[in-house]
A and B are shown apart, each in its own frame.
Chain A
Amino acid sequence: MTNWKVILSIAKTHLLSKMKSTVTASLGVTFGIGAYITLVSFMTGLNKMLDDLVLNQTPHIHLYNEIEPSKTQPISRLAEFEGAFNVVHSIKPKMSQQKIHNALPMMHYLNADPRVRGASPQLRAQIFYLSGSIELGGSLVGVDILEEARLYNMRDYIVQGSAEALKNTDNGILLGAGLAKKMSLDLGDRVQISTVDGTVTPLKIVGIYQSGIAEIDNVRSFSNLKTVQRIQGEAENYVTDINVKLYDIAQAVPMASALEKQFGIKATDIQEANAQFETGSNIRNIITYAVSITLLIVAGFGIYNILSMLIYEKMNDIAILKATGFSGKDVQYIFMSQALLIGLVGGLVGLIVGYILSRLIDKVPFETDALPTITTYPVNFNMGYYLIGITFAFISTFIAGYLPSKKAKKIDPVRIIRGN
């Protein structure tokens, strides 16, 4: 039977009477945990921001028609040449239409799928921007702007004007930020658009779009789907791309290949498009944990030293406790609970220090052209990391306290009492 009340009161008295060492040991834990919380909050905040930068803008599945040579050449269809080794030289792809066949029923079908958060149509057109004597090549994307805003955080990238303004303006355009700069255009100005076959249409600039990726901002602009269909002289069912966003990104790969078979269309999934992306996040996580664990190991050695010293100083106490009926285990628990109390106090203070530092970082200005909506450093305040932090504190102090307390358990009271 272990009488915890007595054990804890002895542990408390020991800790309070050695305030200096207690504080030193606790500070070690505080630094370790504080650094962990700060680092992990900042690093995961950064990771999330970079993920958002690429992943949020990217559809999970992208459906389009690709111009490619037919996989089955006519000669293979002939029964007479079945099993023969046919050689066809200089195969050219057939000019197929870019339009997705039956795009509207397909969208209905996709939007009804419970795995799909949303499927949005796009019409991509190659055009020229004309402004005075300037003529720039680029692309104009016809979109359902409110769907884009809902699914791909489009609003974050509209630095001037708004998504609603585009929706409400028939001949409106969200001009790429790079283009606007090159052509010295601003909100409310007009820009002439020329299609490949020479039709010129004036469009009113209702917003400036900045994705943060210069190659995109220098060529791409957005307009309403209907506007682009009209510029191109196409019908209302003319759609070249369908972007699908799913609830679960892991579904992207199987679903893309299923859609490819089902509709006879090219479907790329997000993993294919951003394979290298995970690597960066993983490395940042490894760095965070390596630094934190190193700090905690250092703190652990500190606790180990202080407890070893304490046990050496408390030899007499240990002998008396054992002589008056405390078992070896009781004595071990006394010193273990001291280690864990140091872990608890140091860990909790560490969490608070980490939280305060994270708050400070969250307030530090961080402005970059690449990220128009971000004004301060990104920090992730996730309760889960605080739980991991306090668990870390307990594990490291437990290990650091275990060895010295085991020594205390084994001390022979007779030898101490005789020694005097």
Chain B
Amino acid sequence: MTAMANVLEAKHINKHFRKPVDFHVLKDINFRVARGEFASIMGKSGCGKSTLLYILSTMDTDYEGELYLNDQLVSGLPHEALSKIRNQHIGFVFQFHYLLTEFTVLENVMLPARKLGRKSTEEIEHDAMQHLKTLNIEKLARKTASRISGGEKQRVAIARALINDPDILMGDEPTGNLDSYNAENVFQIFKGLKEEKGLSLLVVTHDQDFADRTDRIIIMEDGRVLP
């Protein structure tokens, strides 16, 4: 595995929760995600896997250690720069479907691309429709986000995460809130993205069945990555 092939690399990451008492959540985390790899993180509740994911997503900056994205050090960058990195390079899917409820499905999907501002609104709309089509929800495009079902919402969130062609897609229990049919659906979408587009994925999950079918399982226990 050459260095260039790493999308994400964590070196000696440590994190403390300082309130209410000092608690060492993450202890010397080291691992890599290769380009095109579909990795999952598993572990018991409270082992720090979500905390780690938020650090990897650049949203949480309160940690020690070094985080590389595409071999670029991102630790210590100012918030503005991190926002830009998230916008451009990282797609995020949450357990809860986190859409802007007052906007239409299409507007939700378009939003990160409009923020990036690289393409014209027409191009973005076209791209967004493409993504919705791939996920079989193009007929929902004009519906308000609050009026669609949970499984549909999650697919919209995936479309939104993909709109800027990110280098890596991160998921925090993306299937945790879905029935088995929809969970399977989401898994198939992820798998398709990896296989067809060569997208890297890093998914935190409780679902053993889900994790077993990924390329690699990273198991965490008490704030450490088990070898």
Contacts and interface: CB of A to CB of B under 8 A. Distances in A.
Interface residues of B, number: 32
Contacts of A328: 79, 83
A325 B80 contact: no
Given A1-B117, A417-B94, A327 B83 contact: yes
B49 interface: no
B103 A324 contact: no
B148 interface: no
A6 B102 contact: no
Contacts of A316: 98
A21 to B, nearest CB: 13
Interface stretch (B20-28, B107-115, B199-207): B107-115
Interface string B92-123: 10111011111100010001101111000000
B80 A6 contact: no
A319 interface: yes
B117 A3 contact: yes
B160 interface: yes
B5 interface: no
Nearest to A409: B79
B54 A414 contact: yes
B160 A324 contact: yes
Contacts of B50: 418
List the 7 closest pairs (A to B, CB-CB), nearest first.
Answer: A325-B87, A327-B83, A17-B102, A6-B114, A324-B112, A325-B86, A3-B117
B126 interface: no
Contact of A6 (B96, B115, B164): B115
B14 interface: no
Contacts, number: 74
A320 interface: yes
Given A9-B114, A324-B87, A417-B94, 7 more contacts: A3-B115, A10-B100, A324-B86, A324-B111, A325-B112, A414-B59, A414-B60
A413 interface: yes
A6 B103 CA distance: 13
Interface in B144-164: 160, 164
How large, as a class, is the contact surface on chain A? 20 to 34
A9 B92 CA distance: 23
B57 interface: yes
B84 interface: yes
A261 interface: no
Contacts of A189: none
B88 interface: yes
B87 A322 contact: no
A323 interface: yes
A13 B102 contact: yes
B114 A325 contact: no
A398 B107 CA distance: 28
A420 B79 contact: no
A340 to B, nearest CB: 20
8 contacts: A13-B102, A320-B98, A321-B100, A321-B111, A325-B116, A326-B83, A329-B80, A414-B59
A9 B57 CA distance: 27
B92 A323 contact: yes
A236 interface: no
A330 interface: yes
B80 to A, nearest CB: 5
A305 B145 CA distance: 27
A316 B96 CA distance: 11
A14 interface: yes
A94 interface: no
A260 B112 CA distance: 79
Interface string A167-190: 000000000000000000000000
Interface in A131-165: none
A325 B98 contact: no
A324 B170 CA distance: 12
B80 A327 contact: yes
A5 B116 CA distance: 11
A5 B102 contact: no
Contacts of A14: 102
Nearest to B111: A324
A384 to B, nearest CB: 40
Contacts of A327: 79-80, 83-84
Given A325-B84, A325-B88, A420 B54 contact: no
Among A317, A321, A322, A414, find the residue whose CB has the most chain B CB atoms closer than 10 A. Answer: A414
A107 B86 CA distance: 84
A6 B83 contact: no
Given A3-B114, A6-B111, A325 B83 contact: yes
Interface in A282-318: 316-317
Contacts of A319: 98
A1 B87 CA distance: 13
Contacts of B86: 323-325
B158 to A, nearest CB: 13
A320 B108 CA distance: 10
A326 B57 CA distance: 14
A13 B103 contact: yes
Contact of B92 (A5, A317, A324): A324
A5 B99 CA distance: 20
A325 B54 CA distance: 14
Contacts of B94: 323, 417
Nearest to A1: B117
Nearest to B114: A6
